[in-house]
């Protein structure tokens, strides 16, 4: 912390940021918008280091009650068969509790699905991706989207990664940090079901990594109007090594994350044994997150090592291919995922907000999926102490409200030219070239 809970905020943008016209014709830039919509970062001075902040966040489960109705989707991609679930926000509290689903969540009835849930309204809609082993029920996610939903002007849906949020695994196709196919199918579905709604993307931690990879893959053809990535770990290999570098990172935080993933696997033991060749007995003996990725991700996707998976699935290069207004929020006290490695003045569509927060540490916040803890561990301390919305929630709310209601979305011209490719002596750099080929169809 810089001074009694007040943290400095750094802004990183292109030297020639994208120009955005307001609906009254006033010219703005992405830099102008972000500087106006990002508030000062005021934290709880009593939580003066990352460990205390993490403990406070883990202990505090209070969050706005967001209610959902769940829809099950069968994957359309033949190579990535299986089902996944999407939880759609509903303003109505369910009359009955479904014990097979997370709190405040019920299924759409057969009658509702048969009659169609589509609409011709023009309400902006968020497509939200959660963090590692999380779901639509997570505290950080509900804090992040509730101000928009409570305004009555927004709709939202959350893509649950396969097996997460009490969803079922129906094939051997699981998810990883490159698992963009379910998000892509959902966005296509939303364009057909709600043809007049502008769509916006919001990702937290591992979900921010998946969202960023998706935006890069879509490039100039991306159907989303704008996106925010909160606490993206960016370089997953560096995140993994940071956990191993310190005693507490390795023996506490990596263990906690590894245990969470092991518990998730145990929940789906029957399906995993039925649809995959994974050895559940071996899985039950794992301790750390990187061990889980070594056993599961390598076997599931053919990577030779977990580091090869981390390098291939990282979104630090994907961000170069994004062609829509994109805001990234990271913290400098989280070295592996604070966004330094992703800063660039080449691409005008991208903007970084980087608060300089508490003492540097390499714990949970530096892990794959730990970036969310990094961001919200430092901001969720605000509501009780100051009686106000969290800093990050305000950033999310202000930015999306500006893009949805003040910006003229018809005049945000996406650069169709791929100017991220760099040539020298016949060589070519393509930010989206991967070692594991993932067909997008």
- Residue 252 has a pLDDT of 81
Provide the sign of the torsion angle of the four alpha carbons 207, 209, 213, 216, taken in this order: positive
What pLDDT digit, counting tens, does each position of 10-67 carry?
777 777 778 889 999 999 888 888 888 887 776 677 766 656 666 676 677 788 999 9
- Residues 329 and 201 sit within 8 Å (Cβ to Cβ): no
Closest C-alpha among 201, 163, 160 to residue 182: 160
* Topology (CATH level 3) of domain 6-244+318-429: Rossmann fold (3.40.50)
Kindly report the three-state secondary structure assignment for every residue of 288-349.
CHHHHHHHHHHHHHCCCCHHHHHHHHCCCCHHHHCCCCEEEECCCCCHHHCCHHHCCCCCCC
What pLDDT digit, counting tens, does each position of 162-214 carry?
999 999 999 999 899 999 999 999 999 999 999 999 999 999 989 999 999 99
- Residues in the chain with pLDDT values less than 70: 1-7, 42-43, 47-55, 57-58, 332-391, 413-426, 438-441
- Residue 50 has a pLDDT of 58
Q: How far apart are CA 134 and CA 148, in angstroms?
A: 21
- Residue 64 has a pLDDT of 92
- Residue 176 has a pLDDT of 93
């Amino acid at each position: 912390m810089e001074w009694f809970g007040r943290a400095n905020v750094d802004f990183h943008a292109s030297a020639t940021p994208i120009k955005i016209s307001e609906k009254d014709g006033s010219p703005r830039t992405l830099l102008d918008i972000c500087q106006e919509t990002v508030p000062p970062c005021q934290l709880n001075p009593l939580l003066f280091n990352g460990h205390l902040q993490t403990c406070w966040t883990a202990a505090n489960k209070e969050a706005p009650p967001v209610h959902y109705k769940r829809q099950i989707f069968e994957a359309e991609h033949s190579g990535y068969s299986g089902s996944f679930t999407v939880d759609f926000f509903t303003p109505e509290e369910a009359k009955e509790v479904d014990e097979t689903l997370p709190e405040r969540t019920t299924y759409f009835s057969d009658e509702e699905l048969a009659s169609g849930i589509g609409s011709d309204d023009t309400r902006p809609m968020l497509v939200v991706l959660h963090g590692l082993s999380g779901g639509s029920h997570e505290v950080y996610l509900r804090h992040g989207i509730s101000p928009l939903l409570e305004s009555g002007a927004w709709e939202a849906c959350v893509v649950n990664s396969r097996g997460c949020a009490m969803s079922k695994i129906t094939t051997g196709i699981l998810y990883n940090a490159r698992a963009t196919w379910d998000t892509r199918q959902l966005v296509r579905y939303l364009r057909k079901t709600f043809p007049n709604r502008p769509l916006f993307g919001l990702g937290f931690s591992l979900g921010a990594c998946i969202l960023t990879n998706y935006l890069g893959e879509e490039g100039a053809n991306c159907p989303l109007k704008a996106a925010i990535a909160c606490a993206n770990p960016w370089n997953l290999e560096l995140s993994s090594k940071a956990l191993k570098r310190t005693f507490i990172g390795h023996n506490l935080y990596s263990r906690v994350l590894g245990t969470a993933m092991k518990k998730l696997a145990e929940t789906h033991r029957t399906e995993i044994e039925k649809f995959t060749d994974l050895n559940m007995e071996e899985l039950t003996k794992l301790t750390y997150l990187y061990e889980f990725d070594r056993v599961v991700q390598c076997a599931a996707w053919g990577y030779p090592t977990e580091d090869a998976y981390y390098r291939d699935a990282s979104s630090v290069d994907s961000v170069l291919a994004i062609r829509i207004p994109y805001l990234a929020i990271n913290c400098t006290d989280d070295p592996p995922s604070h966004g330094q490695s992703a800063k660039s003045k080449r691409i005008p569509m991208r903007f970084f907000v980087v608060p300089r927060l508490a003492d540097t540490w390499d714990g949970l916040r530096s892990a794959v999926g730990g970036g969310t803890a990094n961001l919200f561990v430092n901001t969720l301390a605000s509501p009780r102490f100051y009686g106000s919305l969290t800093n990050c929630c305000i950033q999310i709310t202000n930015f999306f409200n500006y893009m949805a209601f003040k910006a003229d979305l018809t005049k945000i011209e996406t650069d169709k030219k791929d100017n991220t490719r760099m040539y020298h002596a016949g060589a070519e750099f393509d930010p989206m070239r991967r070692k594991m080929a993932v067909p997008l169809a």
